Chain A
Amino acid sequence: MSDTAVAHGHDHAHDHDHDHDHDHKPTGFRRWFMSTNHKDIGTLYLIFSLTMLFLGGAMALVIRAELFQPGLQFVDPHFFNQMTTMHALIMVFGAVMPGFVGFANWMVPLMVGAPDMALPRMNNWSFWILPFAFSILLLSFFVPGGAPAAGWTLYAPLTVQGGMSVDMAIVAIHMMGISSIMGAINIIVTTLNMRAPGMTLMKMPMFVWTWLITAFLLIAVMPVFAGAVTMLLTDRHFGTAFFNPAGGGDPVLFQHIFWFFGHPEVYIMILPAFGIISQIIPTFARKPLFGYSSMVFATAAIAFLSFIVWAHHMFTVGMPLQGELFFMYATMLISVPTGVKVFNWVTTMWRGSMTFETPMLYAIGVVFLFTMGGLSGLMLAITPADFQYHDTYFVVAHFHYVLFSGAVMAMMGGTFYWLPKWCGHMYNETLGKWHFWLTTIFFNITFFPQHFLGLAGMPRRYADYPIQFTEFNQWSTVGAFGLGISQLLFVYIIVSTVRGGKKATTEVWDNPEGLEWTVPSPAPFHTFDEPPVVK
């Protein structure tokens, strides 16, 4: 299979592009729509992800605008609920997951010394399904009743009743699922079969390890989610009664199946971020990653444990005491391997000759802020405490600390880290640092007050609130608009760096480790046609 990847690149040889001397690549429609090149597909994924980030971000700003004051100002509650639902679906399945797949496409072959992904045709399919899936999801705004409004968790029995938008969301979810599963298979086959001679599993870069494990999680749980929404669909239209109590179904069963997928899913969104951080920190601390093998085992342990903690999202549904206790302790157990990782990152920095270029600022920011999210998670894992915090803004604060300042900021750091390799130019360091500080400060202004709101009892997913919550909500809204506007700077930096700027060297940074730093910048269209040898 690996030879097909190489042979395929040469199919396009008749479409010469003379910009790069010995680089044959097709142009225009053929290059982008029929691409089988891992770098081009990686770029497509990253652009798609950034587009979705802005779309989902715009919806978040509608939510925050409405919550600036108590009472109803801009939108009616039903539209508000559509916003919270669609914001989450777009961010989870459109921004974070495809973003990481984009990083994997670009970096996994470069890091393991492979000429391309193992299954380039399938790679093209995995990507091009996504724009169609999201078009269907977004078109649901225009059907009677509007977009899905039952929350991204799509809980039955509410979704057994919703309008046709629920069916559109189900179709879109099936397409996204197929895309993710194909992407995951591709990554596993690439890492297991196409590593350069000498690169044993325990010599693989951490980013590749985290993605390998993530890919297994994807294959294990995306089909379960597909099953859950299929049952929902047949309950809605074909007379089954999996979740519909009228026919003897059980709505709580939906929650169990959803979270059996849902909790591993949150680790799907964070493990690749751990991988990126583990690449960046050693480079700028100028020390190898501390405890490499414990990092690998911690990642595997987290992945394993993620299958047995799902009901911590359901402490309040009325589980028996033994169940509550089991899921409480199992959840707390996850903080052990997570703590190992944080410890290793900090120890890698310890006594290193650190410098603070933008990627490093992001990495440190992620370690710090993600850990705060982990701590609020630990609070939520305490069953009796969760009876108070469940479905309040405290949960919203928790998952934005792990998902925005964990996953999304890791991707931003990764972008600054590898952008010079991708496009051959250095970004403007001053602007990069501005972007980091604006993002971090506005992020905290947005989400830190939400901890207090949640502790004081403000429930999530409502368009209105009692007046005593006003002040913290106003902080949050101001922060959100600042955070949104700061991302225009991100786009400006990327576009201007792609267009021009100081030439990047092959190594880009100060003696970084990894095969990706042995190919020229920008990375040529074809790399590692001859596999490198790893000592």
Chain B
Amino acid sequence: MQAKKLVVQLTLVAVVMFGFGYALVPLYEAFCRITGFGGKTDVIAEAMAAQAVPSDRSIAVTYTSHSHTSLPWEFKPVSKGLDVKPGEIHEAVFYVKNYSNRPITGMSTFNVTPPRAGFHFKKTECFCFTQQVLQPGEEKEMLVRYMLDPAMPEDVLELTLSYTFFDNEKYAGQ
């Protein structure tokens, strides 16, 4: 019957659109990664970064960090930042300490502003790639190795690299 076929088709559309809602998650992620929208940073291999030709302009990079209120950690950059020449590989060091009396798993989110600079911020290594477990009272220094892509837009004269540590207990081991 014609009507039955139509009902089945329309129901199918509804089911597909439910799936589409979920498909938006990877699509959004891929969109931000490819375009660099939203200040997502890029990851490249160390060997590739080493081949870049340093340019002679310099960009003022500032580091900022927060520890979410739910997380009893101290978290700060060891230096406030520096002037960076695109094409050079740099290291930023962050200090973190667990003030509680229990081991806690944390994980950091990251972001670059202005967002259009994010795509040209190439990391080769970062503490934010994995979960960090701190024992009671433990403190440590953590590394980010990065390079600013020489293709960084000319009008970007300064940028901010920002991290926020969240309590990641709920997701520990994932």
Contacts of A231 in B (CB 8 A): 21-22, 25
Q: Which residue of A lies closest to B18 (CB)?
A: A223
Q: Which residues of B contact A241 (CB under 8 A)?
A: 171
- Chain A residues within an 8 Å CB radius of B48: none
State whether the Cβ of B100 lies closer than 8 Å to any Cβ in chain A.
no
Tell me, yes or no, whether B1 is within 8 Å of chain A by CB.
Answer: yes
Q: With the chains together, A193 CA to B6 CA distance in Å?
A: 9
Nearest CB on A from B35, distance (A): 8
Q: Find out whether the CB atom of A193 lies under 8 angstroms from the CB atom of B2.
A: yes
Residue pair B3, A118 in contact (C-beta under 8 Å): yes
Chain A residues, Cβ within 8 Å of B143: none
Give chain B interface residues in 1-18, CB to chain A under 8 Å. Answer: 1-4, 6-7, 10-11, 13-15, 17-18
Residues in B whose Cβ lies below 8 Å from that of A260? 24
Could you tell me the distance in whole angstroms from the C-beta of B168 to the nearest C-beta in chain A?
A: 6
Q: List chain B residues, Cβ under 8 A from A228.
A: 21
Which residues of B are found within 8 Å of A224, using beta-carbon distances?
Answer: 17-18, 20-21, 24
* Range of interface residues on A (Cβ < 8 Å): 35 or more
Q: If the complex has contacts A1-B1, A323-B37, are A188 and B10 also in contact, measured as CB distance less than 8 A?
A: yes
Q: Give a binary string over A272-291; 1 marks a CB under 8 Å from any B CB, 0 the rest.
A: 00000000000000000000
Tell me whether B28 and A253 are in contact (CB under 8 A): yes
Given contacts A227-B18, A227-B22, A256-B28, whether A1 and B167 have CB atoms under 8 Å apart is no
Min distance, Cβ B171 to any Cβ of chain A, angstroms:
4
A252 vs chain B, min Cβ distance (A) = 7
Check: A319 CB closer than 8 A to any chain B CB. Answer: yes
Residues of B within 8 A of A320 (CB): 35, 37-38, 115-116
Contact surface of B with A, Cβ cutoff 8 Å: 1-4, 6-7, 10-11, 13-15, 17-22, 24-25, 28, 35, 37-39, 68, 70, 107, 109, 115-116, 164, 166-168, 170-171, 174
Among A131-139, A214-222, A374-382, the one that faces the other chain is: A214-222
Q: Smallest CB–CB gap between B18 and chain A, Å?
A: 4
Chain B residues in 8 Å Cβ range of A223: 14-15, 17-18, 20-21
Cβ contacts A21-55/B at 8 Å (1 or 0 each): 00000000000000000000000000000000000
Decide if B164 touches A245 in the complex (CB within 8 Å). yes
**Would A319 and B18 be within 8 Å (CB), given that A239-B171, A247-B170 are in contact?**
no
Q: What are 23 A-B pairs at a CB distance below 8 A?
A: A1-B1, A1-B2, A1-B7, A2-B3, A185-B14, A188-B6, A193-B3, A219-B17, A223-B18, A224-B18, A224-B21, A225-B21, A226-B18, A227-B18, A227-B19, A239-B171, A246-B167, A246-B170, A247-B168, A250-B28, A318-B115, A319-B37, A321-B116
**Nearest A-chain residue to B68, judged by Cβ:** A246
A237-250 vs B, Cβ < 8 Å mask (1 yes, 0 no) = 00101100111101
**Does A534 count as interface, using CB distance less than 8 angstroms?**
no
Interface centre among B18, B39, B109, by most chain A C-beta atoms within 10 angstroms, is: B18
The verdict on A189 contacting chain B, using a C-beta distance below 8 Å, is yes
B14 pairs with A219, CB closer than 8 A: yes
Q: Is A336 an interface residue (CB 8 A)?
A: no
CB contacts (< 8 Å) of A199 on chain B: these are none
Contacting residues, chain B, for A185 (C-beta < 8 A): 7, 10-11, 14
Q: Would A245 and B166 count as touching, CB distance under 8 A? A: yes
CB closest residue in chain B, given A226: B18
Known: A246-B171, A256-B28. A226 touches B21 (CB 8 A): yes
| In the complex, chain A residues 149-203 whose Cβ is within 8 Å of any chain B Cβ | 181, 184-185, 188-189, 192-193
Quick check: is A119 within 8 A (CB to CB) of the other chain?
yes
- What is the CB-to-nearest-CB distance from A33 to chain B, in angstroms, rounded to a whole number? 24
Besides A219-B14, A257-B24, A320-B35, 19 new A-B residue pairs in contact (Cβ under 8 A), listed by A number: A1-B4, A188-B10, A222-B17, A223-B15, A223-B17, A224-B17, A224-B24, A227-B19, A227-B20, A231-B25, A241-B171, A245-B109, A246-B171, A247-B107, A247-B170, A247-B171, A250-B28, A257-B21, A320-B116
Contact present for A248 and B20 (CB under 8 Å): no
What 3 pairs between A and B have smallest CB-CB spacing? A227-B21, A1-B3, A246-B166
Q: What residues of B have a CB within 8 angstroms of the CB of A181 in the complex?
A: 14
Given the complex, which residues of A lie within 8 Å of B20, measured CB to CB?
223-224, 227
Q: Given the interface contacts A222-B14, A223-B21, A253-B25, does A189 sit within 8 Å of B7 by beta carbon?
A: yes
**How far, in angstroms, from A188 to B21 measured CA to CA in the complex?**
23
How many whole Å from B65's CB to the nearest CB in chain A?
A: 14
Cβ of B168 and Cβ of A246 under 8 Å apart? Answer: yes
Q: Which residues of A contact B166 (CB under 8 A)?
A: 245-247
